[in-house]
Amino acid sequence: MEIVKTKREASGIKTILFRDRRCAKAKPGQFVMVWILGVDEIPLSLSLTDHKGHSGITVAKVGEATDILYSKAPGEQIGVRGPYGNGFETVGEEALVVGGGIGLAPLMPLTEALSRRGVKATIIAGAKTKAALPFIETINSYAVASHEVHVATDDGSYGVHGTVIDILKDLLGKRSFDVIYTCGPEDMMLKVFNIAENHKTRIQACLERYMKCGLGLCGHCVLDPLGLRVCKDGPVFTSEILRKSSDFGKYKTAADGRKIPV
Amino acid sequence: MKPDLTVEIAGLKLRNPTMLAAGVLGISGSLLKRVAEAGAGAVVTKSIGPEPRAGYPNPTVADVRCGLLNAMGLPNPGIKAFSRDIIALKTLEIPLIVSVFGSNPQEFVEVAREAEKAGADALELNASCPHVKGISEICQHPRLLSEIVKSVKSAVTVPTVVKLSPNVADIAETAKIAEDAGADAVTAINTVRAMAIEIETGRPILANKTGGLSGPAIKPITVRCVYEISKSVKIPVIGCGGIACWQDAIELLLAGATAVQIGTAIAQKELKIFKSVASGIQNYLKNKGYKEVQEIVGLSHQY
C-alpha cells in the first residue's frame, strides 16, 4: 500500500496516511497490522479515518521497526492488514477521554466520533514534555469545538506541571462522568482504572500486546485468566473484564509464549 | 433419541468428534480452557519443544483469500515452563493432548516424558511442521519417523498420535510407517507448503519466505489424505485441514476420520464453531437414521 502523506506530530512521532476502503470505515480503537517490508510487522492503532478514504496510523520511534517506519516517505510502500479488533463503544453523554503520549492515537478518531454523536467530551492529554506530546493542534481544536481540554506534561513545559492522573483525580473529585476512555502506558491505564473504580465510573481501556497473527489464532496476546485475546476480544476492554484480569497492568506474553512483566 | 456423539480414539473418550488443532490458541492454558468451555471434544496444545523458542519475526501470517499462510517458526515457552500450564489444566473436563516436537528422537522423548509427567492425557507428535528445518523433513525420512515414534512409545504410556505431513509422495505409506512403529492414531494433515509474494515490490510476504497453507483451500487435500490413509491403516485417523462447518466434518468422517480438528476457521467463526459443528453432526446422524458417529466413519470406502 502506498504512503500518501506523512505528518510530524511530535518529536519522534509521525502520522502516516494511506488509502484503504476498509480502514476508512473502521471503528475508533481498531488497529491494523503494519508490514514494514523486510523488517517486521507490528500492530498499530488507526489514528485517523476520514470520508475521503484516507486512513492514518501514528508511529512513535521505539525500536528498529518503528524507526524504519518513521523514516518512510510518501510514495513508499507499507503492508496493511485489518482493521482488526472490537474498538470503543460510544456510550453515555458525559465522556472523559484520558490519553498519554502515543496512546492518544486511537483516542483521536474516538473524539471525532463523540463529536459526531453530539457528546461533549472532556479530554485529558499528557506526555513527558511539550516536544513529546502528539496531536497538539488537533487537541487544541477540540477545545474550540465545545469539548473541554486539559493538558499535562511531566516537566511542566506545556499545560499543567504533572501527569494526566493528577488532573483525573482533581476532575473526578468535582464531577462525575458516564464513561472514561483511556489509552497510554499500561501503568497509567491501571491507575486510571483504579481511580475510576473508586468513583464507580466505568472505563474502556485500549490495550497493546505482542501479536503474531492479529486474527485471534496464535494466542500470543492472551489476557489471563479469562483467555481473552487482545487482537480479537479487545483491544478495548471494559471495567467488568479488567476487574477479572490478573494480567492487566502486570504481565504480557513474549514471542516465545512466556509471561513477562508489562 | 438423539444420536450419540461420543467417539473413542486410542482409549481417549471424546464427548463429540471436534478437537482444537495444534498451533492455534494452545500456547496458553487459559485459552485451552476457553476452547473446552466452548464445547470442543478435546484440545491439542501448541507444539512444545525442549527449550523456549521465539519463532520467526513477523510477518508470520499472510491472508491469501482461499486460506491462511503461516510460518510461525514453532514459538513456544519450552516444556519446563509449559508443564505449569499442563498441571493447571488438571481439572479440564476434556482430554488434553500435548503436541510435541524436537529435532531428534532424544528431544522428542524428553518433551514427551515431561508432558506425561505434568498430566497430558495424550501426545501428538509434530512430525510435519512445513516451515522449520529438521522437523519438516521427518515425514520424508521413514527411518527417522519410525525411530521417533518407537522411542516415544517406549518412554511413555499415554496414547501417542502422529501428525502427518501432506508434503510427501505417498501419505498412506507414511501413516503405515507410523502405525508399524506403534502410533496409536494419526492426524492428517499438517499445512501444505506454500508461498505468497507481494506484487508491488516482488517481495515474499512471510519473513520465512515459505510457510504452510491452511483453511478452505486445503480441505479437498485433507479429504483425499484421510481417505487414502484410512484404507491403509487400522489405527484411528483424525482429520485436520480446512474444516469450517459441519458439512466439512461429515465429509471427513465419511472419508474415514474418527474425529476432526479445527483451527484456522476460528478466525472467521469464533469459538462457537465447535458447538455448531458438533450439533450439525448430530442432526445429520439423526436425519439419516444413525445412532452413533462410528456408523458413518469411512462409509465412502464402499464405493
**Distance in angstroms (rounded) separating the CA atoms of residues B102 and B64:** 29
A71 shares its domain with A129: no
Query: Mind listing the pLDDT tens digit for each residue in A62-89?
Result: 999 999 999 999 999 999 999 999 999 9
Q: Provide the β-strand partners of residue A84.
A: A31
- Quick one: how far is CA A79 from the chain centroid? 20
Q: What is the pLDDT of residue B266?
A: 97
A146 shares its domain with A74: no
Task: Name A165's Cβ contacts closer than 8 Å, sequence gap at least 6.
Answer: A188, A191, A192, A195
Query: Mind listing the pLDDT tens digit for each residue in B268-287?
Result: 999 999 999 999 999 999 99
Helix runs in chain B, H state only: 29-37, 78-88, 105-118, 142-155, 171-180, 219-232, 246-255, 266-269, 273-288
Q: What is the pLDDT of residue A34?
A: 98
Choosing from A55, A84, A113, the residue where a domain stops is A84
| CA–CA min distance A66, chain B (Å) | 13
Query: Mind listing the pLDDT tens digit for each residue in A148-202?
Result: 999 999 999 999 999 999 999 999 999 999 999 999 999 999 999 999 999 999 9
A155 shares its domain with A229: yes
Pairing of strands A251-253, A259-261: antiparallel
Helix orientation angle between A164-174 and A186-198, rounded to the nearest 10 degrees: 10
A186 shares its domain with A250: yes
A120 shares its domain with A155: yes
Task: Say whether pLDDT at A2 is over 80.
Answer: yes
**pTM as predicted:** 0.94
In a domain, A180, yes or no: yes
Q: In chain A, pLDDT over 90 holds for what percent of residues? A: 88
For chain A, what is the mean pLDDT?
Answer: 94
**Distance in angstroms (rounded) separating the CA atoms of residues B142 and B148:** 10
Choosing from A84, A119, A137, the residue where a domain stops is A84
Q: In chain B, pLDDT over 70 holds for what percent of residues? A: 99
In a domain, A89, yes or no: no
Q: Judge: B76–A255 Cβ closer than 8 Å, yes or no.
A: no
Boundaries of domain holding A175: 94-261
Q: What is the pLDDT of residue A250?
A: 92
**Distance in angstroms (rounded) separating the CA atoms of residues B164 and B170:** 11
A236 shares its domain with A113: yes
Pairing of strands A94-100, A79-84: unpaired
* Chain B residues whose beta carbon lies within 8 Å of the beta carbon of residue A218: 24-25, 27, 60-61, 72
Question: Strands of A40-49's sheet, edge to edge?
Answer: A5-10, A13-19, A54-60, A40-49, A31-36, A79-84
For chain B, what is the mean pLDDT?
Answer: 95
Query: What's the domain count of chain A?
Result: 2
| Residue A97: closest CA among A125, A119, A117, A118 | A125
Choosing from A36, A57, A84, the residue where a domain stops is A84
Query: Mind listing the pLDDT tens digit for each residue in A242-253?
Result: 999 999 999 999
A122 shares its domain with A249: yes
Query: Mind listing the pLDDT tens digit for each residue in B31-81?
Result: 999 999 999 999 999 999 999 999 999 999 999 989 999 999 999 999 999
In a domain, A159, yes or no: yes
**Distance in angstroms (rounded) separating the CA atoms of residues A196 and B10:** 53
**Distance in angstroms (rounded) separating the CA atoms of residues B178 and B164:** 9
Q: What is the pLDDT of residue B133?
A: 72
ipTM score: 0.92
**Distance in angstroms (rounded) separating the CA atoms of residues B131 and B296:** 35
Task: Say whether pLDDT at A223 is over 90.
Answer: yes
CB-based contact (8 Å) between B201 and chain A?
Answer: yes
Report which of residues B134 and A220 the model is more confident about. Answer: A220
Q: Which of B28, B52, B61 sits opposite A222 (nearest CB)?
A: B28
B31: nearest CA partner in chain A: A227
A106 shares its domain with A236: yes
Q: What is the pLDDT of residue A107?
A: 97
* Chain B residues whose beta carbon lies within 8 Å of the beta carbon of residue A253: 27-28
Q: Judge: B31–A222 Cβ closer than 8 Å, yes or no.
A: yes
Task: Say whether pLDDT at B198 is over 70.
Answer: yes
Query: Mind listing the pLDDT tens digit for each residue in B217-240?
Result: 999 999 999 999 999 999 999 999
Do B76 and B23 touch, CB atoms closer than 8 A? no
In a domain, A11, yes or no: yes
- List the CATH number of the domain containing A204: 3.40.50.80
Task: Say whether pLDDT at A108 is over 80.
Answer: yes
In a domain, A154, yes or no: yes
In a domain, A241, yes or no: yes
In a domain, A44, yes or no: yes
A123 shares its domain with A49: no
| CA–CA min distance B89, chain A (Å) | 12
Segment A23-41 shows an average pLDDT of: 96
For residue A128, name the pLDDT band (cuts at 50, 70, 90). very high
**Distance in angstroms (rounded) separating the CA atoms of residues A167 and A186:** 18
A139 shares its domain with A244: yes
Q: Judge: B75–A256 Cβ closer than 8 Å, yes or no.
A: yes
Q: What is the pLDDT of residue B136?
A: 67
Task: Name B126's Cβ contacts closer than 8 Å, sequence gap at least 6.
Answer: B22, B47, B99, B100, B101, B135, B163, B190
Q: Judge: B76–A256 Cβ closer than 8 Å, yes or no.
A: yes
Question: Residue A168: which H helix or E strand, with range?
Answer: helix A164-174
A133 shares its domain with A186: yes
Q: Provide the β-strand partners of residue A36.
A: A40
CB-based contact (8 Å) between B81 and chain A?
Answer: yes
| CA–CA min distance A233, chain B (Å) | 10
| Residue A22: closest CA among A78, A83, A88 | A83
Task: Say whether pLDDT at A44 is over 70.
Answer: yes
In a domain, A139, yes or no: yes
Q: Which domains does chain B have, with CATH numbers?
A: 7-302 (3.20.20.70)
Q: What is the pLDDT of residue A93?
A: 87
CB-based contact (8 Å) between B60 and chain A?
Answer: yes
A175 shares its domain with A250: yes
Question: Residue B156: which H helix or E strand, with range?
Answer: none
**Distance in angstroms (rounded) separating the CA atoms of residues A227 and A230:** 10
- List the CATH number of the domain containing A29: 2.40.30.10
Q: In chain B, pLDDT over 90 holds for what percent of residues? A: 93
